[in-house]
Amino acid sequence: MREVAVIGVGMTKFGELWTKSLRDIFVEAGLKAIDDAGVDHIDAMYVGSMTPGLFVGQEHIGAMMADYLGVAPIPAVRIESACASGGFAFRQAFLDVASGMNDIVLAGGVEKMTDGADVTYALSTAADQEYECYQGITFPGLYAMIANAYFEKYGASRKHLAMVAVKNHKNGALNPNAQFQSEITIDDVLNATMVADPITVMDSSPVSDGAACVIVTTVDIAKKLKKPIVKVLGSGAGTDTIALHQRKDILSLEAVRIAGERAYKMAGIKPSEVNFAEVHDCFTIAELCIIEELGFAPRGKAGELTEKGETSLNGKIPINTSGGLKSKGHPVGATGIAQIVEVVEQLRGNAGKRQVKNARIGLTQNMGGSGASSVVHIFTI
């Protein structure tokens, strides 16, 4: 396999982008990434998107985005793994370059969620329609069950969830691309409207529009372009039962653990060598479970780690320096790529007020559904 690097990144602001269409926002992010990389062409393209068919009545967006980005007739295809679509799109771009098939590849992600579709229904198609959704449960309810089981087993409380939201908003307030650039308090979360006990609306990531793109090439080509080279050290992916109730343990995110293990193995590093990470905090409880699966906290201790400030910007292992899904926003197909945009900006030392000190190794973890799919990448500069 050829060594692979990221040489360009670009994203739109995340939020309610009512004046821009699906194609507009993808092209905006794509042009920024191409400009940042300083390349004069791309050879292939992967577009992560969860359900543009249900959100805006448009499928076939690999070809459409190649057309509107002005790069047709290059090969272009859409990659879907629910909310992990962006992360998997990056993985396919990585494999494409690593294989020797193409030299310069764009991996992007996009979603337009605020154009009037039934968002809860559209998102519920990431769960098991026959055995979960038809019975009346959607994602806040699924994560609420995980949270209650977590509280029961480890003695954590709603305050620990709230601390995740507070930290991520604090980071998001420093990110000009974030949907919510405002700090919040523990009480704001605890007193917010309950969605599915114990998950309040402030424990939940928002409904967002947005796009993000990165340019991937070989390390050899990157050197010739004289760009800051962010190397891809490892790529891991995994799957689990699509229905939460079919797992041996609903607190165990097997797909995350396995994706992490594979990425660590490929990178040849241990979790303790990671300096910072972007993880999939679709709900606050998810961040706690994920950082345990990735080896950043012992089992049941993620709340404590958060409480001690170790996952904050100046902590031992800063988590979601971008603001995460909670504060930066969660246009589902774009999220996995936006995580990589943040890690690249941090490794380049370009993250401004939210810059992590001595950022040498960064990790991204993107997840679909209640954890039925996950993908992890590890980067270094």
Q: Which of 169, 280, 330, 377 is catalytic?
A: 330
- 213 annotated active-site: no
Residue 132 identity: E
Report if residue 202 touches its own copies, rule: CB under 8 A. no
Report if residue 185 touches its own copies, rule: CB under 8 A. no
Rg (CA), the chain: 19
Report if residue 188 touches its own copies, rule: CB under 8 A. no
Q: Which 56-75 positions form the footprint of its own copies (CB under 8 A)?
A: 56-60, 62-64, 66-67, 72-75
Residue 90 identity: F
232 Cβ contact list (under 8 Å, min separation 6): 4, 5, 6, 94, 216, 377, 378, 379
Site string for its own copies, 338-377 (x = CB under 8 A): ------------------------------xx--xx-x--
SS3 7: strand
**Residue nearer to its own copies on the CB measure, 183 or 261:** 261
**Residue nearer to its own copies on the CB measure, 260 or 362:** 260
Q: Which of 83, 133, 282, 289 is catalytic?
A: 83
With CA atoms as reference, report the closest residue to 243 among 84, 355, 371, 80.
Answer: 371
Number of residues counted as binding its own copies (CB under 8 A):
64
Work out the angle between the directed axes of helices 158-172 and 284-293 (0-180°, nearest 10).
90
92 Cβ contact list (under 8 Å, min separation 6): 46, 77, 79, 107
Residue 107 identity: A
- 282 annotated active-site: no
> What is the DSSP code (8-state) at residue 201?
G
**Residue nearer to its own copies on the CB measure, 237 or 340:** 237
Report if residue 268 touches its own copies, rule: CB under 8 A. no
With CA atoms as reference, report the closest residue to 280 among 334, 236, 229, 336.
Answer: 336
Whether 171 contacts 355, CB under 8 Å: no
Task: Give the binding site for its own copies (CB under 8 A).
Answer: 1, 21, 44, 50-51, 53-54, 56-60, 62-64, 66-67, 72-82, 88, 91-92, 95-96, 98-101, 121-122, 125-130, 133, 235, 237-243, 246, 254-255, 258-259, 368-369, 372-373, 375
Which residue numbers are catalytic? 83, 330
